[in-house]
A and B are shown apart, each in its own frame.
Chain A
Amino acid sequence: MAKYIVQRLGQTLIVVLGVTVIVFFILRVMPGDPVQLMFGDGDDANLGEARERYEQLLGLDQPLPVQYVRFLGEITTGDFGNSIVRGGEPVSAMIERALPLTIELAIVALLIALAIAIPVAILSALKQNTIWDRGGTAIALVGVSLPSFWQGIMLILFFAVYIPILPVSGVIDSSMSVERITGMAFTDAVLTGNWEAARSVARHLVLPAITLGTAVAAQFVRVLRSSLLEVKHQDFIDAFRARGLRERTIVRHMLHNALPTTAVIVGLRIGALLSGTIVIETVFAYPGMGNLLIQAINARDFPVVQGVVVLLTVMVIFSNLVADVIHGWLDPRIKISTKGTA
């Protein structure tokens, strides 16, 4: 197992390195002139000498490979530079505020997604081709085709406008505050025993988390159902049935065999979940990574854009790695196959 993890970790690091090359290429090389990009089209004429200063500041006067190595050095030490808009605040500080909020939102959304998807997929697969199955697959198809941001706005319409019971933006009521420990608002409120604040944060989380959770749940149902069906029609299930095992026991064996695939599917979907947060956070004005990214793009604050893009992508890559490791742990066949190749 250790060998498998090391091998996968090696592969992952290569991918991460490649990703930094792509980001470097997209954000630093492709625009042609990052300085002009920062200042917009109209201002470059009277930038004059200041332009050289900015080029030096950004290291643009160096050859590309030197720039890349420098870029790599900066991001591996967690130094993403300073914002060029918000009074030069370090990007890492901005990310430190935004990232925990996004993680908390993503975790709650993931739990909601699993709570919906697992029962629905099991029901669909066990009762294949019945009304349950058709209902489940139809709802899942609708779910994957719905724009999540539209779903979010409709939830606002129903639960904040028609029946005004839930807040529509932010993390917590403006009159309250939470002492910062982890940066995750709900967790911090619970840790400090500030129940009033915890309640407020939870209420603010409901709509974004449900929006994101149901969107991902629909994708889960589709893939989970087919992986359960794969297992359902394998010979060992027939063998169990022939031996007269109870249906409940058979279902347990089925689920156990579908578990590794589920872990991988969940891991693969972390990317969708995180890019979902970009859009959903904008809908609900939730001050996480997505909101930070969009604001930075609109303000042409490129060091921030770069930091957010690199960090989100690396998070996706590592969650895929974790999913693979869990897969290998749950499914012994994987380990055997790596032994063969190593």
Chain B
Amino acid sequence: MIEAKTRSSTKRRRRPLPNAIVGAAWATLILFIVIGTLAPVLAPYVPTDQSLVDRLQPPGTDGYLLGTDQLGRDVLSRLIHGARISLFIGFIVMLLTAVVGVAIGLVSGYVGGKVDTVIMRIVDMWLAFPFLLMAIALVAVLGRGLDKLVFALVLSGWPGFARPVRGEVLQLREREYILSARVLGVSAFGIMFKHLLPNIMPTILVLAALDLGANILALAALSFLGLGMGAEVATWGGMLAAGRNYVSSAWWLAALPGIAIFLVVMASNLIGDWLRDRYDPRSPFRLAKNEAEITAMASRTSTPGTTDPYVAGPTP
């Protein structure tokens, strides 16, 4: 009997990630942030400088640590500048998506009623689109360029925040401290941003970390498809696309950018998992693990009608 009890209380919880792995994930992410920030200083060459004499040199060639591409551009320098673009866009999109999604989720959950119904219907429809498909359609219409790319990704991604946040708010808004704040005459705005927001921060952080990885992957996919920044900018996805044509003669062109993408995305996924372990041992978000993964990663689709379709996770 005792054994059964301990089993269900301890084993039910996911074993937290080992510290060494979490440390490595943070180190990787910070390393890439530093590399991206200092790109102009760190890169040995200008990423767009061509030297046709030195084209397709393998890694380890004198002067080109990671080799050169089909136009004789230094792969290392391009990877370093690619880190700058990827992380910059990844973070900007994550921040904007979070701000928009959280604001909409807060209002929807707190105001409730018709506003909530309308917003959640829109979220339903939005989530029916595969994330990448909507981003592709938007970029197709808006054209290439940094601002348009950011706009397209934010517009495709906001429901990934809005729905879980709204679910959390629904659970918190009848709590005593919120009710007493309301009785004391705190404005709706004050309640939402001063009292509710801090309490859903853990959820937001988890979503944000997973969103960062998803954004970097989506950005790479868009650049790979030629819908990113224009050919002159060094992006990891763009490098991969060009490298595909030289895969038989120059493996490093396609292999190396993929490894960079993988490391950053893996690091942000691990950090997301770690944040969840750390802040949410058994909160309503426990089961939303699946939901968060599902929404924050590629598909962003919904199953309305299973339980309450909007609450982040089945509530106990």
Residue numbers of A with Cβ under 8 A of B are: 7-8, 11, 14-16, 18-19, 21-23, 26-27, 30-31, 37, 128-129, 141-142, 144-147, 149-151, 153-154, 156-157, 160-161, 219, 222-223, 226-227, 229-230, 233, 238, 264-265, 267-272, 274-276, 278-279, 282-283, 293-294, 297-298, 305, 309, 312-313, 316-317, 320, 323-324, 327, 334, 337-338
Contacts and interface: CB of A to CB of B under 8 A. Distances in A.
Given A238-B4, A276-B298, A147 B220 contact: yes
B305 A153 contact: no
A309 B244 contact: no
Nearest to A150: B258
A282 B225 contact: yes
B42 interface: no
B304 interface: yes
Interface residues of B, number: 67
Chain B interface helix/strand/loop/mixed: helix
Nearest to B290: A223
Contacts of B141: 26-27, 30-31, 37
B255 A294 contact: no
Interface in B192-230: 213, 217, 220-221, 224-227
A338 B308 CA distance: 11
Contact of B140 (A279, A305, A312, A313): A305
B262 interface: yes
A8 B303 CA distance: 10
A12 B180 CA distance: 40
Residue from A21, A142, A279, A338 with most neighbouring chain B CB atoms (10 Å)? A279
A265 B306 CA distance: 12
Nearest to B18: A134
Given A19-B128, A150-B262, A161-B248, A268 B299 contact: yes
Which of A294, A320, A334 has most chain B Cβ within 10 Å? A320
Nearest to B217: A147
B137 A267 contact: no
B300 interface: yes
Contacts of B220: 147, 149
